[in-house]
């Protein structure tokens, strides 16, 4: 089984699906000749040609608007937004148009568009290359939101996204694009959407994360293990619709929950998870559900290491739930 | 500003008296087709009058009339049924021409159980995939890049379908117009941009939307032809659209058509134009009425008689009454359908919300009239 990083796994998934399904097309800024600024679409134009891998003018609303029209006509567009921070010119096309087409047409016009975009901090990118905007899109009825945490997950989840019939925002954790490596099967496999993954079993605290924060969470959990604390770790991977059962069953077993999120705290997705756990596992909770988040500040440049959750903070948050 | 310009750069086929203008040649359209186009113009006029009355009686929550702009709807007559229409909210004639039934039209206005879109949008936001008439959106201009995308897809798949996208002159101020037109130019997408310059975007006059001399001149910046057409001359619109479709199918890319017309009534039933424009202004439109003009043309060709006119109006009046009687008192969509079509399948969180709602006592809509 080959070893890949996330970039290679995304590329492998796209290539495989474009060979399998002639309806799949890619469009975005610098995705063809250059293969994307992170090289996720590298080489695809050579195999599939400029009709299926399109370098577009520099306009996110145009990329998503055009992708919608393509999907209505029967294609399976996989547009790339170069950085999640640049997605906002397309916000109306995503929120009011793409996410609502099936509903507002009474089911006449499904719009299966999978938007891939790198997100998250830790790459010294400052405000415009670091944000984690998932909550804005999870709050958008009609849109699915999926976040892989390693190469195996990236390929299997992306293939599932392209093969189903709803619009998806596929957020790729760019901090670990190359740092996360692992074995990825050659050929076809899928990972079902809407199902979380128990990454590590444990008994005292449930730690929930997604994307690059899964790795931060594991750092903290490893430190906790050295102190004899047993944590169960859940990779949520599909944020909408999210797997309530896996999360709640775990908390019922451990009695404690820590949610690790890179995005700002207030109205972040961790708040929704915290509320869900509190509503469904109140009688099992030994301590309040804790959130470890980014701050309610714009994403900083020089001080990003202070902004981002890290392993030590994960550990101290785990300890807080145990000391309560 | 009244956007009924009469300068020579406008493409025209027939004048106000229904005579073919000097140097023009009417497009080659069979007599039966000419009569169908006229029928549809009359249908829009009669339907608008009746629906507006229902709105004023408090039966419909909202309505938008097309009076004065009907000819622009019939641009679709120059296209094939397999071509796609990306409408704004003021082109019901394009849908009627393609066979949208009055029962469905009226049910959509009521948002009831017979509404093809299940009561999901407010009146006039139709959606009919069976006639390639894409779902109408309220935010202005959003359909423009989508039309370009559909046209790009047709080209990618080697099909010769084209897209026509309708929008008002106000929409040319949006970013979406720019990106849609720019993408179309760059990819040589087979799309026709039909700009209805009706002089007004709610209360904002056309001269507040651009400092350019004409809207058609914007096409230059996107590398496509921009032409100005008398938007009250249905034959000129037909010809311009046919030419644009031919270019598109030949692989020569998009065309921008500025159709100069006039919004005779308010923006919608909620609007009051007397606040912002000279009440005499619409009177000047009478001589440009696209129906009267085409009627005179057909009269000269012996394709129109006063008897036919009366028969047509009676036919539509009765058809509206029959359709209205059939659907107006239908119940709202089943409450369960509130959760359908958010996604293809119902996820667990929506299933739970649906179960919760179904266990609640039913509430009565203060806005639903029976």
- ipTM value: 0.96
Cα distances (Å, whole numbers) of residue B7 to B4, B12, B54, B139, B218: 9, 10, 39, 33, 19
Burial of A118 (0-12, 13-18, 19+ CB in 10 A): buried
A3-183 matches A197-323 in fold: yes
Domain parsing of chain A, residue ranges: 3-183, 197-323
Nearest one of A169, A42, A41, A27 to A98, comparing CA atoms: A169
Which of B138, B149, B223, B254 best probes binding to A when mutated, by most A CB atoms within 10 angstroms?
B149
Measured between CB atoms, which of A56, A109, A144 is closest to B135? A109
For residue A244, the model assigns a pLDDT of 98
For residue A178, the model assigns a pLDDT of 97
What tokens appear for A67 in the block? 């992708």
What is d(CA A261, CA A256) in angstroms, rounded to the nearest whole number? 17
Contact: B342, A108; criterion CB under 8 Å: no
Query: With bands split at pLDDT 50, 70 and 90, how would you rate the model's confidence at B2?
Result: very low
Q: How many CA atoms lie within 13 A of A148 on its CB side?
A: 32
Please report the residues numbered 290 through 349 in chain B whose beta carbons come closer than 8 angstroms to any beta carbon of chain A: 340-344, 347-349
For residue B368, the model assigns a pLDDT of 62
Cα distances (Å, whole numbers) of residue B186 to A271, B149, B221, B251: 44, 12, 11, 12
CA–CA min distance B108, chain A (Å): 11
What tokens appear for A197 in the block? 């993954």
Question: How confident is the model over B23-81, as pLDDT tens digits?
Answer: 999 999 999 999 999 999 999 999 999 999 999 999 999 999 999 999 999 999 999 99
Contact: B179, A65; criterion CB under 8 Å: yes
Q: How many residues does chain A have?
A: 324
Rounded mean pLDDT, A271-289: 98
Measured between CB atoms, which of A61, A109, A110 is closest to B145? A61
Q: Which residues of B touch A70 (CB under 8 A)?
A: 149-150, 152-153, 156
What is d(CA A11, CA A214) in angstroms, rounded to the nearest whole number? 22
Measured between CB atoms, which of B145, B340, B343 is closest to A66? B145
Q: B314: Cβ–Cβ under 8 A, 6 or more apart, which residues?
A: none
Q: What is the mean pLDDT of chain B?
A: 95
What is d(CA A200, CA A209) in angstroms, rounded to the nearest whole number? 12
Cα distances (Å, whole numbers) of residue B119 to A108, B93, B154, B324: 13, 22, 31, 17
Contact: A244, B342; criterion CB under 8 Å: no
Minimum Cα–Cα distance from A193: chain B residue: B347
For residue B369, the model assigns a pLDDT of 54
**Does the structure show a pLDDT above 80 at B91?**
yes
**Does the structure show a pLDDT above 70 at B90?**
yes
**Does the structure show a pLDDT above 70 at B1?**
no
Question: How confident is the model over B274-286, as pLDDT tens digits?
Answer: 999 999 999 888 8
CATH number of A3-183: 3.40.50.970
CATH 3.40.50.920 fits A197-323, yes or no: yes
Q: Which residues of A touch B158 (CB under 8 A)?
A: none
Q: A97: Cβ–Cβ under 8 A, 6 or more apart, which residues?
A: A64, A65, A68, A111, B137, B142, B146
Contact: A65, B144; criterion CB under 8 Å: yes
Minimum Cα–Cα distance from B186: chain A residue: A57
Annotated catalytic residue A129: yes
Contact: A102, B115; criterion CB under 8 Å: no
Question: How confident is the model over B327-370, as pLDDT tens digits?
Answer: 999 999 999 999 999 999 999 999 999 999 999 999 888 776 54
Please report the residues numbered 82 through 121 in chain B whose beta carbons come closer than 8 angstroms to any beta carbon of chain A: 84, 86, 115-118, 120-121
Contact: B150, A73; criterion CB under 8 Å: yes
**Does the structure show a pLDDT above 70 at B9?**
yes
Question: Locate tokens 């309708």: which residue?
Answer: B166
pTM for the predicted model, two decimal places: 0.97
What is d(CA B117, CA B111) in angstroms, rounded to the nearest whole number? 8
Q: B207: Cβ–Cβ under 8 A, 6 or more apart, which residues?
A: B1
What is d(CA B161, CA B215) in angstroms, rounded to the nearest whole number? 26
């Amino acid at each position: 089984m080959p070893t890949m990083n996330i970039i290679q796994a995304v590329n492998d998934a796209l290539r495989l699906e474009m060979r399998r399904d002639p309806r799949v097309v890619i469009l975005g800024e610098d995705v063809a000749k250059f293969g994307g600024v992170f090289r996720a679409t590298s080489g695809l134009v050579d195999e599939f040609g400029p009709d299926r891998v399109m370098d577009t003018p520099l306009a996110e609303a145009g990329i998503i608007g055009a992708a919608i029209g393509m999907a209505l006509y029967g294609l399976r567009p996989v547009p790339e937004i170069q950085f999640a921070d640049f997605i906002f010119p397309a916000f109306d096309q995503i929120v009011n148009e793409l996410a609502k087409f099936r509903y507002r047409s009474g089911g006449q016009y499904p719009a299966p568009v999978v938007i891939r975009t790198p997100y998250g901090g830790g790459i010294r990118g400052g405000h415009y290359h670091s944000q984690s905007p998932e909550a804005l899109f999870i709050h958008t009825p009609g849109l699915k939101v999926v976040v892989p945490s390693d190469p195996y997950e990236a390929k299997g989840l992306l293939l599932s996204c392209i093969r189903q019939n709803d619009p998806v925002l596929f957020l790729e954790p760019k901090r670990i694009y190359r740092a996360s490596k692992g074995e990825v099967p050659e050929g076809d496999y899928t990972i079902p959407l809407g199902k979380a993954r128990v990454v590590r079993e444990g008994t005292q605290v449930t730690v929930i994360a997604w994307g690059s924060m899964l790795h931060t969470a594991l750092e903290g959990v490893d430190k906790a293990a050295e102190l004899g604390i047993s944590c169960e770790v859940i990779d949520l991977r599909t944020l909408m619709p999210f797997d309530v059962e896996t999360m709640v069953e775990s908390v019922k077993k451990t009695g404690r929950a820590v949610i690790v999120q890179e995005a700002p705290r207030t109205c972040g997705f961790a708040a929704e998870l915290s509320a869900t756990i509190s509503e469904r596992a109140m009688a099992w909770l030994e301590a309040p559900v804790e959130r470890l988040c980014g701050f309610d500040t714009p994403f900083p440049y020089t001080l990003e290491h202070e902004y981002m959750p890290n392993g030590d903070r994960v550990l101290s948050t785990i300890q807080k739930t145990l000391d309560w | 500003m009244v956007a009924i310009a009469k300068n020579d750069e406008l493409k025209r086929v027939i004048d106000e008296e229904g005579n073919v203008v000097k140097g023009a040649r009417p497009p080659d359209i069979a007599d039966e087709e000419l009569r169908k186009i006229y029928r549809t113009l009359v249908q829009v006029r009669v339907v608008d009058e009746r629906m507006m009355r229902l709105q004023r009686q408090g039966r419909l929550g909202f309505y938008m009339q097309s009076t004065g702009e009907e000819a622009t709807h019939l641009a679709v007559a120059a296209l094939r049924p397999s071509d796609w229409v990306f409408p704004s909210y003021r082109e019901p004639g394009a849908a009627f021409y393609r066979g949208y039934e009055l029962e469905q039209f009226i049910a959509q206005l009521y948002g009831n159980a017979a509404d093809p879109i299940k009561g999901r949008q407010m009146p006039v936001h139709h959606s009919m995939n069976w006639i390639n008439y894409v779902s109408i959106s309220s935010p202005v201009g959003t359909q423009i890049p989508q039309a370009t995308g559909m046209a790009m897809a047709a080209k990618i798949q080697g099909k010769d379908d084209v897209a026509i996208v309708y929008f008002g002159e106000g929409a040319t101020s949006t970013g979406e117009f720019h990106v849609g037109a720019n993408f179309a130019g760059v990819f040589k997408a087979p799309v026709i941009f039909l700009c209805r310059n009706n002089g007004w975007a709610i209360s904002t006059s056309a001269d507040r939307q651009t400092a350019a001399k004409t809207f058609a001149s914007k096409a230059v910046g996107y590398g496509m032809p921009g032409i100005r057409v008398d938007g009250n001359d249905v034959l000129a619109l037909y010809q311009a659209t046919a030419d644009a479709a031919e270019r598109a199918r030949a692989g020569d890319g998009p065309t921008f058509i500025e159709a100069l017309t006039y919004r005779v009534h308010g923006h919608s039933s909620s609007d009051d134009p007397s606040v912002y424009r000279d009440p005499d202004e619409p009177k000047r439109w009478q001589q440009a009425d696209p129906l009267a003009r085409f009627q005179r043309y057909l009269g000269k060709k012996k394709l129109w008689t006063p008897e036919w006119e009366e028969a047509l109006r009676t036919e539509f009046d009765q058809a509206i009454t029959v359709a209205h009687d059939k659907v107006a008192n239908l119940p709202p969509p089943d409450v369960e359908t509130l959760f359908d079509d958010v996604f293809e399948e119902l996820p667990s969180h929506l299933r739970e919300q649906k179960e919760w709602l179904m266990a609640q006592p039913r509430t009565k809509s203060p806005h639903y009239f029976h």
